[in-house]
């Protein structure tokens, strides 16, 4: 079929004009995504010239170019100005990194830590501006939350409180649901759910007044049944649903709510191997004899070894999570969910669209490979070796 260069040229002229305008406004970056989009447009141009009449080719190519540039455009962001943000759990990990980033951007940061003389608190005190205020707070103590609330009211009286970043959380045990003491579930819920709930409710009057933002760090373990993370995952599922409720109910007030679901990153808590070993020893020492006989010490050793191996594969650069939190605070239209880190798209696709058996096997191979409990191995050869960590395709989400 005869090609039609003029309609094609007109569409390319329109695409080039918009791209140049976006580049001048710094709404578009020169890089691989833009080059890939242009290559796809060129392929589409070739097909349109051969399969469509001139006017249809012009419309299709121009529309495709416009959509592609719209998707590549940086989201519109609000100015930092004098915005104040409170971040929980800044002793280490995502909280500490976010406090540094927001302080450098010009935010007034109120950073809560468990101990004012902890290494993380000392690091923030040394490297951040005088605008950053360190506040001691334990999320399980209502008196601490009340004290932080009063401090926040006083120190944001002139600017208002723009954002709350619910980052504090923890995971204290890796074990099957039956092996995990009920106290472990209560501990995770106290920090990850009830502490976040109390903190959010305490600051809501200030956030409603400013039509501000609530950003909560959750975990894919709250969406999928990761092996041996039932206590942690249950608390994260609860807090994610809570934030969904807040998102609907606070919409009339102009408060926007976002949830961050990060992949596994190598935070300080993740790298503390001695801590996980000590918790394993405590579990073995306190486990009822009946359960220890049924599952076996080698079973628990296997779980712990697999877990530590998964953590060692975590991403060392925390900036994707920090960037997601920053976008949730400043984007004119923040996303309801952010998924920073590699591999989460495939993980969620498998979880939502493949059969249950495949989902289960994928999570086991991705995180902790199967190992047969002792009672089921009696009279049978072991299916795997406790010393062999088995296949591992990635790493697991952990506490912040």
Residues annotated catalytic, as ranges? 232
Residues 6+ apart with CB under 8 A from 181: 173, 286
DSSP classification of residue 306: H
Beta-carbon count within 10 A of 19 CB: 21
Buried/exposed 236-247: b ≥16 CB within 10 Å, e otherwise? bbbbbebbeebb
How distant is the alpha carbon of residue 218 from its chain centre? 6
Q: What is the arrangement of strands in the sheet containing 256-260, beginning at the earlier edge strand?
A: 133-136, 108-113, 84-87, 163-166, 213-217, 256-260, 337-338
What are the backbone dihedrals phi and psi of residue 282, each rounded to the nearest 5 degrees, phi first?
A: -65, -40
**Among 164, 97, 149, 148, CA closest to 124:** 97
Number of H helices, E strands in the chain: 17, 7
What are the backbone dihedrals phi and psi of residue 180, each rounded to the nearest 5 degrees, phi first?
A: -80, 125
């Amino acid at each position: 079929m005869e090609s039609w260069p003029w309609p094609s040229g007109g569409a390319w002229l329109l695409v080039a004009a918009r791209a140049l305008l976006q580049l001048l406004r710094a709404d578009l970056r020169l890089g691989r995504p833009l080059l890939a989009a242009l290559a796809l447009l060129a392929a589409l141009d070739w097909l349109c010239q051969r399969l469509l009449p001139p006017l249809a080719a012009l419309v299709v190519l121009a529309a495709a170019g416009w959509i592609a540039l719209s998707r590549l455009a940086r989201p519109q962001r609000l100015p930092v100005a004098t915005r104040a943000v409170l971040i929980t759990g800044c002793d280490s990990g995502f909280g500490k990194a976010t406090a540094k980033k927001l302080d450098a951007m010009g935010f007034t940061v109120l950073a809560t830590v468990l101990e004012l003389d902890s290494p993380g608190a000392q690091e923030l005190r040394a490297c951040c501006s005088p605008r950053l205020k360190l506040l001691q707070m334990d999320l399980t103590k209502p008196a601490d939350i009340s004290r932080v609330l009063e401090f926040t009211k006083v120190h944001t009286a002139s600017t208002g409180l723009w954002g709350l970043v619910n980052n504090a959380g923890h995971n204290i045990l890796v074990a099957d649901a039956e092996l995990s003491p009920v106290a472990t579930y209560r501990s995770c819920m106290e920090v990850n759910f009830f502490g976040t709930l109390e903190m959010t409710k305490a600051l809501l009057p200030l956030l409603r007044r400013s039509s501000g933002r609530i950003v909560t760090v959750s975990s894919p373990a709250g969406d999928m049944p990761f092996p041996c993370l039932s206590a942690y995952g249950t608390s994260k599922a609860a807090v994610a649903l809570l934030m969904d409720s807040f998102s609907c109910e606070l919409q009339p007030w102009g408060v926007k709510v976002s949830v961050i679901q990060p992949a596994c990153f190598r935070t300080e808590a993740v790298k503390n191997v001695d801590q996980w070993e000590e918790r394993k020893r405590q579990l073995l020492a306190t486990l009822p004899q009946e359960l220890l006989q049924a599952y076996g010490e080698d079973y628990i050793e296997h779980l712990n070894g697999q877990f530590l191996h998964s953590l060692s594969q975590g991403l060392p650069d925390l900036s994707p999570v920090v960037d997601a939190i920053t976008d949730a605070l400043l984007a004119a239209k923040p996303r309801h969910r952010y998924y920073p880190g590699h591999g989460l798209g495939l993980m969620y696709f498998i979880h939502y669209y493949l059969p249950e058996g495949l989902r289960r096997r994928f999570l086991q191979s991705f995180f902790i490979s199967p190992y047969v409990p002792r009672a089921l191995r009696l009279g049978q050869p072991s299916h795997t070796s406790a010393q062999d960590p088995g296949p591992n395709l990635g790493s697991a989400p952990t506490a912040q």
